[in-house]
């Protein structure tokens, strides 16, 4: 078994980078994985019954050789993203197919093809090794990791790296992800850790925060402007908790949808005045499995107008099949429906007449390029956008943490302590934390 407690001690003592770079890394370490020989374990079951507690294992895995453009990060904390739920329930496809494809790409890609998949697409930690081609990062740097895994060899990557042919999501379409004691990342995934945050607060942001930034703020997404009404599904969820903040911070008018009185209160405390409780309102957009009910779309539209007096310029969409018909209807003439996901089903149906006659646009979005991830992280570092950490689990309980997200029992983001022995460590700028305000930083946590 690996024992990295001496490394953690050095990190907590603020030991110089040379000491961390010289620390002998073990041949193996603990990681949360799904196993290739279990990828059929849930066949024939309904999605809701597939239990991540059965499929996610914490086990010893081998540390791979480091490619020249990579770094090894000692992961202090990570988070549960919905893609870890997808990996753990082997939907829509087992992720081993992604790893096998990556394995055919290059010698370095081949390292990813093993019998386990180390999952996780967020991390906060410390660089402990840097490959020979890495510029700008060195052992000792405190970092967070964004999950756009891409190199610069495809011409498309030089406009928007999300368009590159070999763009992948680290820890989902690649191995060596963040839910582990050590992770292997490309240097172009590294961002400076916000100094005023704990490890677990810093480790939950990059994936959802960057995605929400691209969807709403970036010109690659909806490019929200001041005064825009933005309708947000799941407004206290992983994506929605950041989306709501971007709308408020950018001078827009959020209309947030949630599904309980507790979440209504949380959203109001976040500063969102126009809130709909979809459970209380009882919307039934589908009469049966095949038929949508336009009168329910109209009822929702009426509720939005009653709250803010007008229709949304932007609809922030991710639930997919259950809501897309309503989302397309809801946007105002010329409005944008920006989508990055389909949690409730990816075969989408909407009434095209509402789209073309009202000149609306459906805009697709997927994670974020390095520049967008950098800008999103910068806003966290500046204390303008807050982490939405609501709870933490130790790495050993990663299955339970993923089950909570799968069953929608969480708010905001769930953090996972990997090497961090307890919550509350990792703050190096307490004065700035005080300036930003403990209350704002810990809103989701206190609420949970």
Ligand X SMILES: NC(=O)c1ccc[n+]([C@@H]2O[C@H](COP(=O)([O-])OP(=O)(O)OC[C@H]3O[C@@H](n4cnc5c(N)ncnc54)[C@H](OP(=O)(O)O)[C@@H]3O)[C@@H](O)[C@H]2O)c1
Which residues form the interface with ligand X (CB under 6 A)?
Answer: 81-83, 207-208, 211, 233-234, 236-240, 257-259, 263, 278, 318-319, 322-323, 340-341, 343-344, 366-367, 405, 408
Three-class HEC string of 85-113: HHHHHCCCCCCHHHHHHHHCCCHHHHCCC
Handedness of CA 181, 206, 82, 278 (dihedral sign): positive
Minimum distance of ligand X from residue 266's CB (angstroms): 10
Minimum distance of ligand X from residue 96's CB (angstroms): 18
For the beta carbon of residue 54, count every other beta carbon within 10 angstroms.
14
Minimum distance of ligand X from residue 13's CB (angstroms): 35
Distance, C-alpha 395 to centroid of its chain: 18
| Residue number, 37 or 49, with CB nearest to ligand X | 49
| 202 in Cβ contact with 194 (< 8 Å) | yes
| Residue number, 99 or 342, with CB nearest to ligand X | 342
| Residue number, 30 or 211, with CB nearest to ligand X | 211
Query: Which among 233, 307, 224, 301 is positioned nearest to 273, based on CA atoms?
Result: 307
Instruction: Determine the 3-state secondary structure of 200 from DSSP.
Output: helix
Minimum distance of ligand X from residue 344's CB (angstroms): 4
Q: What CA–CA distances, in Å, run from 147 to 83, 119, 189, 391?
A: 11, 11, 6, 22
Which residues are registered as beta bridge partners of 32?
Answer: 58
Angle, vertex CA 207, rays to CA 49 and CA 260, nearest 5: 50
| Residue number, 137 or 213, with CB nearest to ligand X | 213
Minimum distance of ligand X from residue 332's CB (angstroms): 20
Q: Is 262 exposed, middle or buried (0-12, 13-18, 19+ CB in 10 A)?
A: middle
| Residue number, 39 or 390, with CB nearest to ligand X | 390
| Residue number, 30 or 218, with CB nearest to ligand X | 218
The number of residues making up the chain comes to 448
| Residue number, 81 or 95, with CB nearest to ligand X | 81
- Nearest-angstrom CA–CA distance, 90 and 39: 6
């Amino acid at each position: 078994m690996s024992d990295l407690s001496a490394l953690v001690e050095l990190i907590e003592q603020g030991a110089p980078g040379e000491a961390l770079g010289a620390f002998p890394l073990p041949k193996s370490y603990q990681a949360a994985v799904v196993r290739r020989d279990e990828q059929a374990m849930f066949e024939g079951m309904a999605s809701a019954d597939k239990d991540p507690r059965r499929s996610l294992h914490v086990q010893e895995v081998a540390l791979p050789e480091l490619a020249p453009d990579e770094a090894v990060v000692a992961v202090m904390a990570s988070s549960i993203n919905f893609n870890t739920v997808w990996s753990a329930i082997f939907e829509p496809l087992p992720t081993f197919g992604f790893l096998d494809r990556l394995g055919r790409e290059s010698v370095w890609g081949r390292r990813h093809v093993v019998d386990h998949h180390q999952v996780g697409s967020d991390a906060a930690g410390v660089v402990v090794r840097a490959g020979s081609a890495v510029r700008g990062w060195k052992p000792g740097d405190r970092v967070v990791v964004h999950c756009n895994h891409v190199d610069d060899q495809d011409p498309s990557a030089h406009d928007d790296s999300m368009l590159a042919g070999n763009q992948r999501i680290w820890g989902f379409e690649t191995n060596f992800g963040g839910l582990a004691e050590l992770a292997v990342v490309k240097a172009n995934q590294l961002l400076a850790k916000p100094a005023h945050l704990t490890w677990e607060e810093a480790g939950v942001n990059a994936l959802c925060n960057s995605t929400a930034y691209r969807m709403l703020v970036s010109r690659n997404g909806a490019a929200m402007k001041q005064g825009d009404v933005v309708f947000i599904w799941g407004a206290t969820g992983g994506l929605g908790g950041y989306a709501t903040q971007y709308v408020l911070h950018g001078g827009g008018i959020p209309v947030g949808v949630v599904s309980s009185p507790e979440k209504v209160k949380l959203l109001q405390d976040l500063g969102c005045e126009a809130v709909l409780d979809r459970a209380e309102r009882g919307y039934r957009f589908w009469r049966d499995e095949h038929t949508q009910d336009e009168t329910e779309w109209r009822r929702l539209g009426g509720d939005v107008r009653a709250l803010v007096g007008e229709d949304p310029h932007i609809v922030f969409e991710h639930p997919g099949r259950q809501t897309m018909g309503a989302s397309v209807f809801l946007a105002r003439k010329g409005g944008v429906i920006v989508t990055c996901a389909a949690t409730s089903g990816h075969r989408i149906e909407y009434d095209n007449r509402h789209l073309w006659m009202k000149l609306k646009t459906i805009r697709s979005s997927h994670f974020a390029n390095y520049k967008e991830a950098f800008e999103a992280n910068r806003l966290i570092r500046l204390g303008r956008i807050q982490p939405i950490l609501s709870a933490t689990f130790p790495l050993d309980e990663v299955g339970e943490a993923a089950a909570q997200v799968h069953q929608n029992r969480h708010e905001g983001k769930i953090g996972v302590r990997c090497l961090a022995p307890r919550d509350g460590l990792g703050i190096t700028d307490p004065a700035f934390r005080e300036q930003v305000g403990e209350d704002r930083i810990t809103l989701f946590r206190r609420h949970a």
